[in-house]
Amino acid sequence: MAIEIYNANINIFLKPTVNDPQGITVKSALQSLGFFLENVRVGKFIEISLEANSREHAYEIAIDMCEKLLANTIIEKYTVNIDE
């Protein structure tokens, strides 16, 4: 199969039980601007153009990248989306 470039969108965020000081700070900043909100969680968004044989293969590679480097799976979770 031909190697193609796929675009993976990865969101990495802290697990709900983990304290998120950045989110707390953003929450109070938004509230002081007059917004009404319950909760804010701040995470990372990583966009990767990677080489793969197929869409499924690209998905597997992106998961592998998260497990090996991008996410700290003890305190973080992630979602992977491959663009069409």
Q: Which residues bind to its own copies, rule: CB under 8 A?
A: 5, 9, 11-13, 26, 29-30, 33, 35-51, 61, 64-65, 68-70
**CA 73 vs CA 22, 70, 76: distances in Å:** 19, 9, 5
Q: Which is nearer to its own copies, 30 or 75 (CB)?
A: 30
* The residue to which tokens 């497990």 are assigned: 67
Q: Which is nearer to its own copies, 37 or 74 (CB)?
A: 37
Among 80, 79, 81, 72, CA closest to 18? 72
3-state secondary structure (DSSP) of residue 20: coil
Minimum gap (Å) between residue 74 Cβ and its own copies: 19
Q: Which is nearer to its own copies, 33 or 74 (CB)?
A: 33
